[in-house]
Amino acid sequence: MTGIPKAIVEKLLKENKAHDCGKTAEVCVRIIAIAELPTIYGDYQVIAFENNVDGREHAALAHGDIYEGEEVPVRLHSECLTGDTLGSLRCDCGEQLQQSLKEIGAMPAGVVLYMRQEGRGIGFVNKIRAYQLQDYGYDTFQANEVLGFKPDERDYDLAAHMLGSLHVRSVKLMTNNPEKIRDLQSHGVKITGRIPLITEPNQYNQFYLETKKLKAGHLLDKNVPEVILEHQNEIIDPNHSARTRHARDDSA
Ligand SMILES: [Zn+2]
Ligand SMILES: [Zn+2]
Protein backbone atom coordinates (compact mmCIF):
# COMPACT_ATOMS: atom_id res chain seq x y z
CA MET A 1 0.00 0.00 0.00
CA THR A 2 1.43 3.35 -1.03
CA GLY A 3 0.86 6.18 1.37
CA ILE A 4 2.93 8.57 3.43
CA PRO A 5 6.09 6.49 4.09
CA LYS A 6 6.79 5.29 7.63
CA ALA A 7 9.90 7.51 7.97
CA ILE A 8 7.85 10.60 7.05
CA VAL A 9 5.07 9.57 9.43
CA GLU A 10 7.68 9.46 12.22
CA LYS A 11 9.04 12.86 11.14
CA LEU A 12 5.55 14.43 11.11
CA LEU A 13 4.70 13.07 14.55
CA LYS A 14 8.01 14.31 15.94
CA GLU A 15 7.73 17.85 14.54
CA ASN A 16 4.09 18.12 15.62
CA LYS A 17 4.85 17.12 19.19
CA ALA A 18 6.70 20.40 19.67
CA HIS A 19 4.47 22.47 17.40
CA ASP A 20 2.69 25.51 18.78
CA CYS A 21 1.50 28.61 16.90
CA GLY A 22 1.51 30.57 20.15
CA LYS A 23 -1.06 32.12 22.44
CA THR A 24 -2.33 34.65 19.91
CA ALA A 25 -3.24 32.02 17.31
CA GLU A 26 -6.96 31.44 16.79
CA VAL A 27 -6.31 28.04 15.27
CA CYS A 28 -3.41 25.72 15.92
CA VAL A 29 -3.66 22.02 15.22
CA ARG A 30 -1.22 19.25 15.91
CA ILE A 31 -0.99 15.83 14.29
CA ILE A 32 -1.36 13.33 17.12
CA ALA A 33 -1.52 9.99 15.33
CA ILE A 34 -1.48 8.50 11.82
CA ALA A 35 -2.86 5.08 10.97
CA GLU A 36 -3.71 2.95 7.94
CA LEU A 37 -7.41 3.10 7.06
CA PRO A 38 -8.57 0.75 4.33
CA THR A 39 -12.07 1.86 3.27
CA ILE A 40 -14.77 0.77 0.85
CA TYR A 41 -13.63 3.79 -1.24
CA GLY A 42 -9.94 2.84 -1.40
CA ASP A 43 -6.80 2.70 0.73
CA TYR A 44 -6.37 5.68 3.02
CA GLN A 45 -4.30 6.81 5.95
CA VAL A 46 -6.22 8.67 8.64
CA ILE A 47 -4.43 11.56 10.31
CA ALA A 48 -5.79 12.60 13.69
CA PHE A 49 -5.46 16.30 14.52
CA GLU A 50 -6.12 18.06 17.79
CA ASN A 51 -6.67 21.81 18.02
CA ASN A 52 -4.46 23.25 20.78
CA VAL A 53 -6.79 26.23 21.13
CA ASP A 54 -10.29 24.74 21.45
CA GLY A 55 -9.52 21.04 21.95
CA ARG A 56 -11.58 20.02 18.90
CA GLU A 57 -10.50 16.93 17.01
CA HIS A 58 -10.28 16.81 13.21
CA ALA A 59 -9.32 14.22 10.62
CA ALA A 60 -7.51 14.13 7.31
CA LEU A 61 -7.96 11.13 5.02
CA ALA A 62 -4.92 10.84 2.82
CA HIS A 63 -4.67 8.59 -0.20
CA GLY A 64 -1.20 8.03 -1.65
CA ASP A 65 1.88 10.00 -0.63
CA ILE A 66 0.73 13.62 -0.31
CA TYR A 67 3.78 14.79 1.68
CA GLU A 68 5.35 17.80 -0.07
CA GLY A 69 2.93 17.08 -2.94
CA GLU A 70 2.18 19.54 -5.76
CA GLU A 71 -1.33 19.95 -7.19
CA VAL A 72 -2.75 17.53 -4.65
CA PRO A 73 -6.51 16.97 -5.09
CA VAL A 74 -8.10 18.23 -1.86
CA ARG A 75 -11.68 18.11 -0.64
CA LEU A 76 -12.76 20.17 2.39
CA HIS A 77 -15.63 18.54 4.23
CA SER A 78 -17.39 19.95 7.25
CA GLU A 79 -18.94 17.36 9.50
CA CYS A 80 -22.66 16.79 8.97
CA LEU A 81 -24.03 14.15 11.34
CA THR A 82 -27.40 13.90 9.60
CA GLY A 83 -25.96 13.74 6.08
CA ASP A 84 -22.67 11.88 6.61
CA THR A 85 -23.87 9.23 9.04
CA LEU A 86 -27.65 9.11 9.15
CA GLY A 87 -28.35 9.13 5.41
CA SER A 88 -30.31 12.41 5.43
CA LEU A 89 -31.56 13.63 2.07
CA ARG A 90 -32.04 17.22 3.32
CA CYS A 91 -28.53 18.07 2.11
CA ASP A 92 -25.95 16.55 -0.22
CA CYS A 93 -23.14 16.20 2.37
CA GLY A 94 -23.20 12.41 2.64
CA GLU A 95 -23.23 11.93 -1.09
CA GLN A 96 -20.45 14.51 -1.58
CA LEU A 97 -18.30 12.91 1.12
CA GLN A 98 -18.72 9.43 -0.35
CA GLN A 99 -18.13 10.64 -3.90
CA SER A 100 -15.01 12.62 -2.99
CA LEU A 101 -13.55 9.63 -1.10
CA LYS A 102 -14.38 7.39 -4.05
CA GLU A 103 -12.90 9.80 -6.64
CA ILE A 104 -9.75 10.59 -4.65
CA GLY A 105 -9.38 6.89 -3.77
CA ALA A 106 -9.15 6.17 -7.52
CA MET A 107 -6.52 8.91 -8.11
CA PRO A 108 -2.77 8.49 -7.49
CA ALA A 109 -2.99 10.77 -4.42
CA GLY A 110 -5.27 13.20 -2.65
CA VAL A 111 -6.70 14.20 0.69
CA VAL A 112 -10.10 14.77 2.27
CA LEU A 113 -10.04 17.13 5.25
CA TYR A 114 -12.86 16.15 7.58
CA MET A 115 -13.48 19.14 9.81
CA ARG A 116 -15.64 18.65 12.86
CA GLN A 117 -17.68 21.79 12.37
CA GLU A 118 -21.26 20.61 12.27
CA GLY A 119 -23.76 22.66 10.29
CA ARG A 120 -21.27 25.15 8.81
CA GLY A 121 -19.90 25.83 12.28
CA ILE A 122 -23.19 26.53 14.07
CA GLY A 123 -23.31 23.17 15.86
CA PHE A 124 -25.68 20.22 15.66
CA VAL A 125 -28.50 21.54 17.86
CA ASN A 126 -28.62 24.88 16.05
CA LYS A 127 -28.59 23.10 12.71
CA ILE A 128 -31.66 21.11 13.71
CA ARG A 129 -33.30 24.32 14.95
CA ALA A 130 -32.64 25.78 11.49
CA TYR A 131 -34.13 22.62 9.90
CA GLN A 132 -37.20 23.15 12.05
CA LEU A 133 -37.53 26.70 10.73
CA GLN A 134 -37.15 25.36 7.21
CA ASP A 135 -40.01 22.97 7.90
CA TYR A 136 -42.06 26.17 8.34
CA GLY A 137 -40.95 27.54 4.97
CA TYR A 138 -37.67 29.43 5.56
CA ASP A 139 -34.72 28.67 3.23
CA THR A 140 -31.36 27.50 4.66
CA PHE A 141 -29.75 30.97 4.67
CA GLN A 142 -32.85 32.74 6.04
CA ALA A 143 -33.09 30.12 8.78
CA ASN A 144 -29.45 30.74 9.80
CA GLU A 145 -30.08 34.49 9.77
CA VAL A 146 -33.08 34.06 12.02
CA LEU A 147 -30.76 32.22 14.41
CA GLY A 148 -28.20 35.04 14.21
CA PHE A 149 -25.54 33.21 12.23
CA LYS A 150 -23.71 34.31 9.13
CA PRO A 151 -24.31 32.15 6.03
CA ASP A 152 -20.97 30.37 6.32
CA GLU A 153 -18.76 30.23 9.38
CA ARG A 154 -16.45 27.43 8.39
CA ASP A 155 -12.89 28.03 9.33
CA TYR A 156 -10.48 28.08 6.42
CA ASP A 157 -7.67 28.85 8.83
CA LEU A 158 -8.10 25.31 10.06
CA ALA A 159 -7.97 23.77 6.59
CA ALA A 160 -4.91 25.84 5.66
CA HIS A 161 -3.14 24.79 8.85
CA MET A 162 -3.97 21.10 8.31
CA LEU A 163 -2.58 21.26 4.75
CA GLY A 164 0.51 23.05 6.07
CA SER A 165 1.00 20.45 8.80
CA LEU A 166 0.96 17.78 6.07
CA HIS A 167 3.47 19.84 3.96
CA VAL A 168 1.11 19.92 0.97
CA ARG A 169 2.66 22.47 -1.41
CA SER A 170 -0.19 23.18 -3.81
CA VAL A 171 -3.76 22.11 -4.19
CA LYS A 172 -6.41 21.29 -6.77
CA LEU A 173 -9.58 22.00 -4.85
CA MET A 174 -12.50 19.63 -5.31
CA THR A 175 -15.44 22.00 -5.02
CA ASN A 176 -18.39 23.63 -6.76
CA ASN A 177 -18.07 26.70 -4.58
CA PRO A 178 -15.84 29.55 -5.87
CA GLU A 179 -16.05 31.15 -2.42
CA LYS A 180 -14.09 28.20 -0.98
CA ILE A 181 -11.28 28.77 -3.49
CA ARG A 182 -10.98 32.46 -2.58
CA ASP A 183 -11.26 31.83 1.16
CA LEU A 184 -8.60 29.15 1.15
CA GLN A 185 -6.32 31.32 -1.04
CA SER A 186 -6.77 34.22 1.36
CA HIS A 187 -5.36 31.92 4.06
CA GLY A 188 -2.21 31.40 2.03
CA VAL A 189 -2.95 28.11 0.28
CA LYS A 190 -1.60 27.83 -3.25
CA ILE A 191 -4.45 26.63 -5.48
CA THR A 192 -3.63 25.56 -9.03
CA GLY A 193 -7.02 24.32 -10.17
CA ARG A 194 -10.52 23.13 -9.42
CA ILE A 195 -12.09 19.70 -9.68
CA PRO A 196 -15.91 19.85 -9.87
CA LEU A 197 -17.91 17.51 -7.67
CA ILE A 198 -21.38 17.03 -9.04
CA THR A 199 -24.10 15.03 -7.32
CA GLU A 200 -27.65 14.55 -8.57
CA PRO A 201 -30.33 16.48 -6.65
CA ASN A 202 -33.14 14.51 -5.04
CA GLN A 203 -36.69 15.66 -4.26
CA TYR A 204 -35.70 16.74 -0.72
CA ASN A 205 -32.48 18.68 -1.37
CA GLN A 206 -33.34 20.22 -4.76
CA PHE A 207 -34.57 23.45 -3.13
CA TYR A 208 -31.51 23.54 -0.82
CA LEU A 209 -29.12 23.07 -3.77
CA GLU A 210 -30.94 25.70 -5.87
CA THR A 211 -30.73 28.12 -2.93
CA LYS A 212 -26.98 27.49 -2.56
CA LYS A 213 -26.58 28.11 -6.28
CA LEU A 214 -28.57 31.36 -6.22
CA LYS A 215 -27.38 32.82 -2.92
CA ALA A 216 -23.81 31.55 -2.59
CA GLY A 217 -22.80 31.39 -6.25
CA HIS A 218 -22.18 27.66 -6.25
CA LEU A 219 -21.19 26.24 -9.63
CA LEU A 220 -23.60 23.35 -9.86
CA ASP A 221 -23.62 23.15 -13.65
CA LYS A 222 -20.83 21.23 -15.29
CA ASN A 223 -20.49 23.80 -18.12
CA VAL A 224 -19.72 26.84 -15.99
CA PRO A 225 -16.42 28.40 -17.15
CA GLU A 226 -13.43 27.83 -14.89
CA VAL A 227 -12.50 30.49 -12.33
CA ILE A 228 -9.18 32.17 -13.10
CA LEU A 229 -7.01 31.74 -10.06
CA GLU A 230 -4.45 34.15 -8.76
CA HIS A 231 -1.12 32.72 -7.77
CA GLN A 232 0.05 32.39 -4.21
CA ASN A 233 3.58 31.40 -3.45
CA GLU A 234 3.54 28.93 -0.61
CA ILE A 235 1.34 27.60 2.16
CA ILE A 236 2.59 29.92 4.85
CA ASP A 237 1.22 30.73 8.24
CA PRO A 238 3.57 33.28 9.83
CA ASN A 239 2.84 31.67 13.20
CA HIS A 240 3.74 28.24 12.00
CA SER A 241 7.48 27.95 12.41
CA ALA A 242 7.86 24.52 10.80
CA ARG A 243 6.17 25.68 7.63
CA THR A 244 7.95 29.02 7.52
CA ARG A 245 11.23 27.19 7.74
CA HIS A 246 10.05 24.82 5.04
CA ALA A 247 9.20 27.74 2.73
CA ARG A 248 12.63 29.27 3.26
CA ASP A 249 14.29 25.94 2.45
CA ASP A 250 12.46 25.99 -0.87
CA SER A 251 13.69 29.42 -1.93
CA ALA A 252 17.27 28.63 -0.95
ZN1 LIG B 1 -0.03 25.71 14.69
ZN1 LIG C 1 -25.34 18.18 5.46
Report how far ligand 1's centroid is from the alpha carbon of 61 (Å). 19
> How far are the Cα atoms of 39, 40, 83, 84, 192 from residue 105, in angstroms, in the given order?
9, 9, 20, 18, 20
Strands 57-63 and 42-51: antiparallel
Q: Which of 34, 80, 39, 26 is nearest to 59 (CA)?
A: 34
Ligand nearest to the CA of 204: 2
Query: What is the helix, strand, coil percentage profile of the chain, to 5?
Result: 35, 20, 45
Sheet of strand 72-78: strand arrangement? 29-39, 42-51, 57-63, 110-115, 72-78, 171-174, 191-195
What's the mean pLDDT in 41-58? 93
Sheet strands (E) in 123-178? 171-174
Distance CA(61)–CA(102), nearest Å, equals 12
Tell me: pLDDT of 28 over 80.
Answer: yes
Report how far ligand 1's centroid is from the alpha carbon of 31 (Å). 10
More confident residue, 59 or 213: 59
Rounded distance between C-alpha atoms, residue 26 and residue 178, angstroms: 24
Q: How far is the CA of 199 from the centre of ligand 2 (A)?
A: 13
Residues in the chain, total: 252
**CA 98 to ligand 1 center in whole angstroms:** 29
Between residues 241 and 78, the one the model is more confident about: 78
- Sign of the alpha-carbon torsion through 128, 129, 135, 138: negative
Looking at the predicted structure, is the pLDDT value of residue 16 above 90?
yes
Of 122-126, 176-180, 232-236, 242-246, least confident by mean pLDDT is 242-246
**Nearest listed ligand to the Cα of residue 79:** 2
Buried b (16+ CB within 10 A) or exposed e, 185-215: bebbbbbeebbebebeeeeebeebbebbeee
For 167-220, the pLDDT digits (tens) are: 999 999 999 888 889 889 999 999 999 999 877 777 677 776 777 767 666 665
Q: Which ligand is nearest to the CA of 240?
A: 1
Give residue 231's pLDDT.
45
- Residue 240 burial class via C-beta count within 10 angstroms: exposed 0-12, middle 13-18, buried 19 and up: buried
**Ligand 2: centre distance to CA 25 (Å):** 29
Domains of the chain, each with CATH number or no CATH = 6-80+93-117+154-201+232-251 (3.40.50.10990)
Torsion of CA 212, 183, 25, 8, to 10 degrees: 110
pLDDT, residue 239, reads 45
**Cα 132 to ligand 2 centroid, rounded to whole Å:** 14
Percent of the chain residues topping a pLDDT of 90: 49
Q: Catalytic residue positions?
A: 152, 154
Amino acid making up residue 194: R
Report the predicted TM-score, pTM, of the whole model to 2 decimal places: 0.79
- Report d(CA 104, CA 111) in Å as an integer: 7
Ligand in nearest proximity to the CA of 237: 1
Min mean pLDDT across 15-19, 82-86, 148-152, 175-179 is at 148-152
Model confidence pLDDT, tens digit, residues 117-158? 776 667 888 888 888 888 988 877 777 776 666 545 457 889
